[in-house]
Amino acid sequence: MSELDQFYEVVLELVKQGGSLIRENISRQKNIQVKSCDVDLVTETDQMVEKLLMDGISAKFPDHKFIGEETTAQGHKVELTDAPTWIIDPVDGTMNFVHSMPHTCISIALYVNKVAEIGIVYNPVIEQFFSARRGQGAFLNGALIHVSGETELNKALVMMELGTSRDPEKMRIVMENLKTMTPLVHGTRALGSCALNMCMVAMGAADVMYEFGIHVWDIAAGDLIVREAGGTCIDPAGGDFDPLSRRALCASSPELAQKVSGTLVQYYPERD
């Protein structure tokens, strides 16, 4: 068994344990705290799942590093080095979780030498387990998945989000893009979870996902899953994907990605 195989086996079991916490608590009363604004929320479950994952990985691999949403919110700096680094969103879709909406998930990725090696997105409420290893394909509940391959904008189902920021300029651009894109595409959808939106593209259920203002923990796992499913992830302006840029565009084909990129009004948030 290779080192990466060992890493995957350990995190697989921990993610399942974390999923049990989400499943047990989603319908219960939550202790909710506010982070940067009234709609940027954190619950005890977010903190419990992140701690479970970090403690469990550290016990087996003490030299591994972490970028976690909740530890970052407490003042830990985002720092991606060549060291094996786990990038964790313990509950992506916290707003959904607070409202007991079942579109919520754990998102975790392993970067080694700044390259994504493992990506897992797990929605334990409706039992969707997305996984990918670099060079080994992408899977949903153990079955191989692939993007749709769609190239035409007018046939594309597009995943997008309003996001948690209520910055007026960002909101203006988000609404302008929604107004511009809607007549051009087959339809628009929003699950309330960036990671799950990306996985919809990976499994061929949607054709495009874009979002401004997300963080590296929202997109690190989804990026690998989309690419291993045959899709493409780029910067929304058309350049290379940068996981720390807080900008992402994923699509079922490079042609479709560039068509969407050429349509979007751009927004550049502060980097992670």
Residues in a beta bridge with 42: 33
> Which contiguous run of DSSP H or E holds residue 111?
strand 105-112
d(CA 126, CA 85): 28
d(CA 102, CA 3): 34
Provide the phi-psi class of 141: left if phi over 0, else alpha when psi is between -120 and 50, else beta.
left
Question: At 45, is the secondary structure helix, strand, or coil?
Answer: helix
> Does 218 carry a binding-site annotation?
yes
**Residue holding tokens 């929320």?**
41
- Contact of 54 with 82, CB cutoff 8 Å: no
> Does 69 carry a binding-site annotation?
yes
Residues in a beta bridge with 237: none
DSSP string, 183-225: GGSSEEE--S-HHHHHHHHHTTS-SEEEEES--HHHHHHHHHH
Side-by-side strand order, sheet with 232-234? 187-189, 157-159, 208-212, 247-251, 232-234
State phi, psi for 250 to the nearest 5 degrees. Answer: -120, 145
> Does 167 carry a binding-site annotation?
no
Binding-site residues for Mg(2+): 69, 89, 92, 218
Binding-site residues: 69, 89, 92, 218
